[in-house]
Amino acid sequence: MAASEHQHLLDAALQGDEEAFGLLLDQYRPYLLVIARRSLDPRLRQRLDPADLVQTTFLEAQRDFRAFRGQSIAQLLGWLRNILRHNVSTAHQRHLFTEKRSAGREVTNRSSDSQPGHVDRALAETTSPSQRVIRGEFVDMLLVQLAELPDTQAEALRLRYLESLTLKEIAEAMGKSEVAVAGLLKRGLQTLRNRMISDSSSGWHPR
């Protein structure tokens, strides 16, 4: 589905079309599922299904959509990511901080439970608030660009450059060979480069 179609669904959803919003959420289920899998603390991956976290995120998004004040797909993605991160953080607190003894028996040489959760540590990797804002804007811009690529190319690029999966991990996640994934990455990158060059020459610049 092209980016223009995503925006059309969002516009309809903002006008009160609940079915359009449901269809739009389904487009981003794979993306949010990858984030949920990567965000979960390793100690919880055998106990929590990332798909349940994504489904909870969608239910909350549908419940609270009237409070959404954005107009663009990039703003919607940022809003969905924030809801998901909150749900992941809540899951960490519920299962790690209140079940210290149980979690302690499952792993050895673990870090203290008083330390920040996995998601909080990941968000703190950048060195300043301004860098986090810039990185967030770049990610949103990239996601918009990816939405215009063929689905397989977009998924491969998302997993490699936004989720930092290895070639082997991507191949396993997509059910393809590593050679096939390498080809998808190469073609997808070339298409993105061509489009960015075209956008730059036409005077478009990210805000």
pLDDT of amino acid 13: 95
Please report which confidence band the pLDDT of residue 193 belongs to, taking 50, 70 and 90 as the band edges.
confident
- CA-nearest of 30, 27, 5, 22 to 158 is 30
Domain assignments of the chain as residue spans, ordered by start: 3-128, 149-207
Please report which confidence band the pLDDT of residue 143 belongs to, taking 50, 70 and 90 as the band edges.
low
- Distance (Å, whole) CA 50 – CA 122: 18
Tokens of 72: 């663009």
Q: Are 187 and 153 in contact (CB under 8 A)?
A: yes
CA atoms within 13 A on the CB side of 45: 12
- Distance (Å, whole) CA 133 – CA 138: 9
- Distance (Å, whole) CA 41 – CA 118: 6
Name residue, tokens 């990610």.
Answer: 139
The better pLDDT of the pair 33, 46 is held by 33
pLDDT digits (tens, 9 = 90+) for 42-81: 777 778 888 999 999 999 999 999 999 999 888 898 899 8
Q: Are 183 and 156 in contact (CB under 8 A)?
A: no
**25 pLDDT above the threshold of 90:** yes
Comparing 61-75, 76-90, 130-144, 163-177, the range with the smallest average pLDDT is 130-144
User: At residue 52, what is the residue type?
Assistant: D
pTM given for the model: 0.53
Q: Say what percent of the chain tops pLDDT 90.
A: 26
Query: End-to-end distance of the chain based on CA atoms, in angstroms?
Result: 24
Q: Are 155 and 175 in contact (CB under 8 A)?
A: no
The better pLDDT of the pair 116, 37 is held by 37
**136 pLDDT above the threshold of 60:** no
Architecture of domain 149-207: Orthogonal Bundle (1.10)
CATH dotted code for 3-128: 1.10.1740.10
- Distance (Å, whole) CA 176 – CA 78: 29
Q: What is the mean pLDDT of residues 92-98?
A: 70
pLDDT digits (tens, 9 = 90+) for 103-134: 455 444 444 444 444 434 443 444 454 444 44
- CA-nearest of 116, 142, 136, 141 to 39 is 116
Tokens of 23: 């269809």
